[in-house]
Amino acid sequence: MRTRPLKVALLGCGVVGSEVARIMTTHADDLAARIGAPVELAGVAVRRPGKVRAGIDPALVTTDATALVKRGDIDVVVEVIGGIEPARALITTAFEHGASVVSANKALLAQDGAALHATAQQHGKDLYYEAAVAGAIPLIRPLRESLAGDKVNRVLGIVNGTTNFILDKMDSTGAGYQEALDEATALGYAEADPTADVEGFDAAAKAAILAGIAFHTRVRLDDVYREGMTEVTAADFRSAREMGCTIKLLAICERSGDGASVTARVHPAMIPLTHPLASVRGAYNAVFVESDAAGQLMFYGPGAGGSPTASAVLGDLVAVCRNRLNGATGPGESAYADLTVSPMGDVVTRYHISLDVADKPGVLAQVATVFAEHGVSIDTVRQQGKDGEASLVVVTHRASDAALTGTVEALRKLDTVRGVASIMRVEGE
Amino acid sequence: MRTRPLKVALLGCGVVGSEVARIMTTHADDLAARIGAPVELAGVAVRRPGKVRAGIDPALVTTDATALVKRGDIDVVVEVIGGIEPARALITTAFEHGASVVSANKALLAQDGAALHATAQQHGKDLYYEAAVAGAIPLIRPLRESLAGDKVNRVLGIVNGTTNFILDKMDSTGAGYQEALDEATALGYAEADPTADVEGFDAAAKAAILAGIAFHTRVRLDDVYREGMTEVTAADFRSAREMGCTIKLLAICERSGDGASVTARVHPAMIPLTHPLASVRGAYNAVFVESDAAGQLMFYGPGAGGSPTASAVLGDLVAVCRNRLNGATGPGESAYADLTVSPMGDVVTRYHISLDVADKPGVLAQVATVFAEHGVSIDTVRQQGKDGEASLVVVTHRASDAALTGTVEALRKLDTVRGVASIMRVEGE
């Protein structure tokens, strides 16, 4: 074994960073044996230098992250700051000064992955980021390496623990969105400002990263259709139950039938209770991958948290260190397929539509005509009357999102349709 | 991209081999883009040369596998023959003549993995075998690489599709073992001689491989405690149901509490219906991995079959080819931890014991005394009387297998105990 240590600079020492530092110290012998050389924490960049950090030598702590990545003797920079800047500038500077990078930064990778990969390649360095998607669950490595000889057609998953906690709570207790969110906040599953989670921004970033890797093409964050889950109601859950379904916020990346284009989207959807994703409870994550040869694979585990994320970071750290000792780099960006990313209108799926209608003869015929005129075939209709008002629940066969949108616009114009109570996609069948 | 192709020799062209060859041909462009150089099928060694093999140039087919691996211009040998010899000799010869090896051979890896790894390392070559365990499910790569910075404490899984199909059938239809086996045979899920599957040999080989990788130590096939599932009865399933459980054939690899030793075992066990492994149906496989930092991860998918196994083989082929272009090798054997493998007697778990006893006063007291004398604490007892005979179902708290064995021996000596109807371990709680 090489005795000269590989030097690691840690950018950020919050929940994840402190756990990375702790494991690097307590498991130093294991890491050395697995890498083939010791690893040494050479510096820790933080914003608040005064804070006491158990187990970290105060002499290593600095507020000057730029100087740390410019030192020139750093082998690997571990970036767990998050956000776009200064993370982007620091990572770029790290490559320029000879370091490889391990990052947990989904927002940055989703927005600027291509440019960062290009910089890494230009300098002959590694950029690894297993921790950016679904915490500890190995997903990027399996997609990039294990399935490198296969053709992935679909990635379907729960990639945000906060929203899964909220939806699971709504499902199991009958609570409304706000009540479930309040509980998630009280328990620390939701942040004070939960926007990134509940509006689907976090999941959309992960969808962009997963789609790019799965389909060997570039998928930008703006390419991902995004719908949050703040408007999911207790009534939606009751409707879902009547169909033998529950509701999950899903990230769905699909290859089109002809293979020439892909789509990526995040939205709440009904899925059958018999689907394995339906039983993913609490803040857990799970991702289904469907490919030509392997068939259906599922990966399940904790999608967030300091320790799980640190596990993923350290797995990457070991890989990058090994590559460095080998004088090699791992697989970089693979975007050769250069596929078109189609808009949401092209997505084909099923829909559950709940309408408030006048309770009089002929309404169903009118509504059915509108669906037919837009080429959307109806699977089932359920009519419920109550005091002069009625509700009509329509479940469609597979149709394009564009056709469905046209249908709903036309339905809204009908005098007999008083309102569209909810529209939800039905997936996983 | 390099234009000179990497040359691949395929040993075996059965269900898996023919699928590997087919995908190498139909997805040649994708493989080339992902590797960075084209791959060329340079030879196919078979036993029956006369058989027509769609899509394979007859000029590539040979019965002389040894000459093929000795050619000297082969970059990667893909071994999908199975069994110990001639696979072992061919792989060794391949390393000696400059090739790296991708294998799907669980029996060989479990028996001789250490020696084969040593030969690979001696010649600076790769030995990859993701397909040897749980077909297409990425498991070896996640354990070896994704969790390389973590400490794995437990691997618990369904790693044999044939037995899971049979047990699932027994569970869902109430069928006995023989009836369910007959159906599995008729549908092609069980081989004509099902011994390797139903007696747990196949699962034990996978357990040895998984334990070795998970704990960074050597676990020989002989170290794995093995119990088949041919004696599981419909009555056992009824008992399991009464406990809110089902029965699965599990491979369980565990680190002891003090971390200094490990155990590996394969046997049927009751697991709660609420455990994710309980809902693994048909011939699917699923493996739980528990580690210090990542927590609980699960990997699920098809555990066998030509296409899924080919997917795993091709993922390894891409990795090995990339390493070759890099002039590097991937992670080899990691056995530095050098842990003791403890015998089955040291395993601590819970037990479900069904006794046929005389239906008279004092029996329960006698039985309970025997448990107490052996230090096995009872969780629940259920007594059922019928016509002078009675059954006593005891579920224990956690106890060592040695203590339980001693308990059962003593119980058999009691006049009032007419027989021990079944003993089954209870896992996953």
Domain B140-302 has CATH 3.30.360.10: yes
pLDDT tens-digit series, residues B151-176: 999 999 999 999 999 999 999 999 99
The whole-number pLDDT of residue B50 equals 80
The whole-number pLDDT of residue A429 equals 76
* Confidence band of B411 (pLDDT split at 50, 70, 90): very high
CB contacts of A311 in chain B (<8 Å) are 147, 149-150, 291-294
pLDDT tens-digit series, residues B170-210: 999 999 999 999 999 999 999 999 999 999 999 999 999 99
The yes-or-no verdict on residue A306 having pLDDT over 90 is yes
Mean pLDDT of A191-207: 96
A30 in B contact zone (CB under 8 Å): yes
Mean pLDDT of A165-193: 95
The yes-or-no verdict on residue B239 having pLDDT over 80 is yes
* Residue B338 · residue B217 · CB < 8 Å: yes
* Confidence band of B274 (pLDDT split at 50, 70, 90): confident
Query: Mutating which of B16, B102, B146 best tests the A interface, going by the most A Cβ atoms within 10 A?
Result: B146
pLDDT tens-digit series, residues B346-363: 999 999 999 999 988 889
How far apart CA B350 and CA B398 sit, in angstroms, is: 5
The whole-number pLDDT of residue A276 equals 86
For A218-222, A389-393, B162-166, B408-412, which range has the lowest pLDDT when averaged over its residues?
A389-393
Pick the CATH number of A6-135+306-326 from 3.40.50.720, 3.30.565.10, 3.90.245.10, 3.40.50.620: 3.40.50.720
Is B299–A297 a contact, with Cβ atoms under 8 angstroms apart? Answer: yes
Residues whose CB falls within 8 Å of the CB of residue B85, separated by 6 or more in sequence, listed in order: none
Interface contacts A/B by beta carbons within 8 Å: 195
* Confidence band of A303 (pLDDT split at 50, 70, 90): confident
- Of B34, B42, B30, the closest CA to residue B5 belongs to B42
The whole-number pLDDT of residue B259 equals 86
The whole-number pLDDT of residue B409 equals 97
ipTM at complex level: 0.93
List the single residue in A31, A298, A326 with the smallest CB-CB distance to B149.
A31
The yes-or-no verdict on residue A408 having pLDDT over 90 is yes
CB contacts of B296 in chain A (<8 Å) are 301-302
The yes-or-no verdict on residue B1 having pLDDT over 90 is no
Mean pLDDT of A329-336: 93
The whole-number pLDDT of residue B52 equals 75
A positions 212-251 inside 8 Å of B (CB)? 216
Rg (CA), chain B: 24
Give the residue extent of every domain in chain B: 6-135+306-326, 140-302, 345-426
* Residue A80 · residue A109 · CB < 8 Å: no
Minimal-distance CA residue of chain A relative to B216: A34
The yes-or-no verdict on residue B386 having pLDDT over 90 is no
Average pLDDT, rounded, for chain B: 95
Q: What is the pTM of this model?
A: 0.94
Query: Which runs of E-coded beta strand occur in A228-346?
Result: 245-255, 261-272, 284-291, 295-302, 340-341
Domains B6-135+306-326 and B140-302 share a fold: no
How far apart CA B173 and CA B184 sit, in angstroms, is: 13
A310 in B contact zone (CB under 8 Å): yes
- Of A319, A6, A126, the closest CA to residue B147 belongs to A319
CA distances from B33 to A111, B5, B356 (A): 24, 12, 66
Tokens standing for residue A331: 């697989």
pLDDT tens-digit series, residues A109-152: 999 999 999 999 999 999 999 999 998 999 999 999 999 999 99
What CATH number belongs to B345-426?
Answer: 3.30.70.260
3-state secondary structure string across B301-327: EECCCHHHHHHHHHHHHHHHHHHHHHC
A positions 137-156 inside 8 Å of B (CB)? 137-138, 141-142, 145-151
Give the three-state DSSP class for A274.
Answer: coil
CB contacts of A332 in chain B (<8 Å) are none
B positions 271-300 inside 8 Å of A (CB)? 276, 279, 291-300
Could you tell me whether strands A399-400 and B61-62 are parallel, antiparallel, or unpaired per DSSP bridges? unpaired
The yes-or-no verdict on residue B248 having pLDDT over 80 is yes
**B397 φ, ψ (degrees, to nearest 5):** -75, 180
For A93-97, A340-344, B188-192, which range has the lowest pLDDT when averaged over its residues?
B188-192
Q: At what angle do helices A201-215 and A106-122 cross, to 10 degrees?
A: 40
The whole-number pLDDT of residue A371 equals 97
Is B296–A301 a contact, with Cβ atoms under 8 angstroms apart? Answer: yes
Class of domain A140-300: alpha beta
* Confidence band of B310 (pLDDT split at 50, 70, 90): very high
Instruction: Sort residue B244 into left (φ over 0), alpha (ψ -120 to 50) or beta.
Output: left
What CATH number belongs to A344-426?
Answer: 3.30.70.260
Share of chain A above pLDDT 70, in %: 100
The whole-number pLDDT of residue A5 equals 96
The yes-or-no verdict on residue A274 having pLDDT over 90 is no
The secondary structure of B340-353 as a DSSP string is: EE--GGG-EEEEEE
